[in-house]
A and B are shown apart, each in its own frame.
Chain A
Amino acid sequence: MSKVKNIIICGTGGQGILMASEVLCSAAWRSGFDVKKSEVHGMAQRGGSVSSHVRFGDKVNSVLVEKGAADVVLSLEKMEGLRWAGYLSPEGKLITCDLTIEPMTVNTGSAVYPDVEKIIEETAIPNLMIPVMDIAKELGNLRVMNIILLGAASKHLPEISEKRWFEAIEERVPPKALEVNLEAFKRGKEL
């Protein structure tokens, strides 16, 4: 029986995390795997930290990824990526957007936004930092950041073919936005 893949997608409320995890689950399911995912709705979605746990393999029991077991942590906001880095397995990788969204604790002066790049360097977390805003602006659509991130993740999830990813994206985005989303996925994959 093959090992279950563990992925955490994180960021802040409203960034498209739940949509990204839907696409990932659909692509994994289309590839013939058992899939489970878990997330939290409600108050957290009002700009708080949001995460989605995705697990796929021959047979999945727990809906939650265990600490120390994540193959990839995908983050749409760079500090949130650090928050979940402790879940990475020794071979795991943090793939994060370079986007900064300051939490209210920082805005109101009760906390300081950390130097994420420096912490990553010091702790030697294997990582890929994506200049997501630049790519999204080049593509002319700020809403495709989550798909760029999935594209970057796809290299670490060889069990899922590009065809399945494209089908999953097509299922989730409106027809007129399909082309830009597929392009976003490819750009992510090139990173």
Chain B
Amino acid sequence: MRKKLNEVNSGKLFLSGNEAIARGAWESGVHFSSSYPGTPSTEIMETIGAEYPEIDAQWAPNEKVGMEVIAGASFGGARVLSTMKHVGLNVAADPFFTLSYIGATGGIVIVSADDPGVHSSQNEQDNRLMGRAAKVVILEPSDSQEAKDFTSIAYEISEMFDTPVLLRVTTRICHSKSIVEVGPRKEVQVKGYTKDIAKRVPIPSNARKMHSRVVARLKALEEWGYDSPLNRIEMADKSLGIITSGISYQYVKEVHPEVSVLKLGMTNPLPWRLIKEFIDQVDKVVFVEEGEPYLEERIRSYFLIDGIGSELMSVEGELNPELVRKGIKDGENLAITFDEIALPGRPPTLCAGCPHRGAFHTLSKMKASSTGDIGCYTLGLMPPYNALETVVCMGAAIGVLAGIEKAVGREKMPKLVSAIGESTFVHSGITGLIDMVYNGNTGTVMIMDNSLTAMTGGQENPTTGKNLRGEPAPALDLEKLVLACGVKHVKTVDPHDLPLMKRTFQEEFDREELSVIITKRPCIMQYKPKRKTVAVHDPDKCVHCKLCVKLGCPAISWDAEKKIPVISEILCWPNCNLCVQVCPKDALSKDLEGVV
């Protein structure tokens, strides 16, 4: 048995940025953490849950609640952590901005995991802009070792300067692994709660004073940054000076090791004196940063200097070594021996056996559709379903449906439903449903309950009956909740019962009152079937209708020559029989023997 990481007190580990942040929190004596999952941040909490029992860690229903709970825990004198994806910070922005004024009794570190390149998100916002707007300290590590070390320094800064610290990381920090030197946990006492109304109640008269303290705090930190280990000048060829932070630093070192570099680990407030020393020594300044030209705009306007960066590389997408090599010195990239070959795309799809397939297949067959939300079920937009038409943010499926109805009338779009997962519904869909009841909407909301927060890799949530550590927890009863919101018609159905799904949708399309359909079937990540069974196709019975292929199941492909479906024995999911249901001639059956 491998040792749990809390038993490893020294030596080196091969850690992802996320695992390193969890380690850094543990070594810093963090007591408490509350977060909502979101790619690319999720594994920080999962690592804490699996490896570091000394930290009391829990999933929150959403990022705002997570931030509020850690705020309270900090008031109680605990060292606290909350992690989220970039758009999660939008949800938590309200407590975030005011927590900056209130400050940190126990150290507060908030991780924003940004997703340049939009690998698994709906935008590529750069949260350094959020951190600056909230006037908090921003740290940007450039590899896993720094992810751990900066987390520890963040707690020191937080308590020394009475400020929350935003640890801003990006996908290539979170999901890259490198070697990390680790240390033991430093136990820190929980300070306990002390009544301090002037500090924690930002009524206007207090808030003005708080703001003054924030401004002074930033000024002090500016100077602290001058000789802090977070920022450093690596002087080399002085004809070119690169100012950079985060993962971008590594790309610069990779492709242009000969140039001078100012590496900023703390990017708010900026250490102006150090920056001045650097730019005075080099002939030309170039900024290399991923995302918005944050450093470029601030530094150029502060010193009124020339400097380039964003126009050489890009504010869109991820940075990479090619862009940096070509961008910095009008250089040439490595020779490409084999040209890129045009190939069919391979977009993500609902898994074989996915419970969402039954719902989207039925909507598609009924020429019906949905307003969508954030989760695996967003994939309902893909062919062959084309049954999800809008996505805005977590929870928006319901509000958007309500608004479309207000604009064009339900009678014009009787077959449009909301598609929202159970975790997303709890996150921020509930208020949308209350709005629909309150303002007299009549549409149908479909809550797709797969008993898991699935897209982020499978986390528990308030409906699953388990907490972050997999221990039993009270399970939220969705039906009762929906009824309590004032919805009169609620039905729970199995989305893989296709005739029932069709009947249910038709009933609700015809109904002139608001209703909720809960489709309930566990995600395939939730359980491992005991027996491996696969669907078997009998070519003699097949009428070549392709109805099975139109399910959009990754396990079913079409043999164009023989005009028959081919079932992948690797991908076919045992506890699913959708293809058997749609076959009009019983040409498909489940083989109980199967392979392996």
Interchain CA distance A79-B343 in the complex, whole Å: 8
Number of A-B contacts (CB under 8 A): 188
A111 touches B (CB below 8 Å)? yes
Q: Which of A96-114 contact B (CB under 8 A)?
A: 101-114
Q: Which of B43, B344, B571, B596 has the most chain A CB atoms closer than 10 A to its own CB?
A: B344
CA distance A62 to B177 in the complex (A): 11
| Inter-subunit contact B343/A41 (CB<8 Å) | no
Cβ contacts under 8 Å, A106 to chain B: 344, 557
Kindly list chain B residues whose C-beta atoms are within 8 Å of the C-beta of A104.
346-347, 349, 382-383, 552, 554
In the bound complex, how far is the Cα of B143 from the Cα of A34, in angstroms? 13
Question: Nearest residue in A to B336 (C-beta to C-beta)?
Answer: A68
Complex CA distance for A25 and B556, rounded to whole angstroms: 34
Interface presence of B39 (CB below 8 A): yes
Measured CB to CB, the closest approach of chain B to A66, in angstroms, equals: 4
B178 touches A107 (CB 8 A): no
A60 CB to closest chain B CB (Å) equals 8
B14 contacts the other chain (CB 8 A): yes
Q: In the assembled complex, how far is the CB of residue A68 from the closest CB belonging to chain B, in whole angstroms? A: 3
A14 to B403, CA, bound (A): 39
Chain A residues in 8 Å Cβ range of B345: 103, 105, 111
**In whole angstroms, what is the CA distance A44 to B40 when docked?**
12
Which residues of chain B are near A42, meaning CB under 8 Å?
39-40, 119-120, 455-457
CB distance from A106 to the nearest CB of B (A): 6
Are A113's CB and B336's CB within 8 A? no
Tell me the interface secondary structure of chain B in the complex: loop
Alpha-carbon separation in the docked complex, A113 to B346 (Å)? 11
Q: Is B500 an interface residue (CB 8 A)?
A: no
Residue B277 is within 8 A (CB to CB) of chain A in the complex: no
Most A CB within 10 A of own CB, among B119, B120, B346: B346
Enumerate 11 A-B pairs (CB-CB under 8 Å) in ascending A order.
A12-B346, A39-B175, A44-B119, A47-B554, A48-B346, A61-B250, A61-B253, A68-B334, A107-B552, A111-B345, A123-B338
Which B positions have Cβ atoms within 8 angstroms of A?
Answer: 14, 39-40, 42-43, 119-120, 143, 171-172, 175-179, 247, 250-251, 253-255, 320-322, 325, 333-341, 343-351, 376, 379, 382-384, 455-457, 549-550, 552, 554, 556-558, 568, 570-571, 595-596
| Interface contacts beyond A46-B350, A67-B322, A106-B557: sample of 13 additional A-B pairs, CB < 8 Å, sorted by A | A14-B571, A38-B172, A42-B39, A46-B379, A62-B251, A64-B321, A66-B321, A79-B344, A90-B335, A90-B337, A101-B568, A101-B571, A102-B557
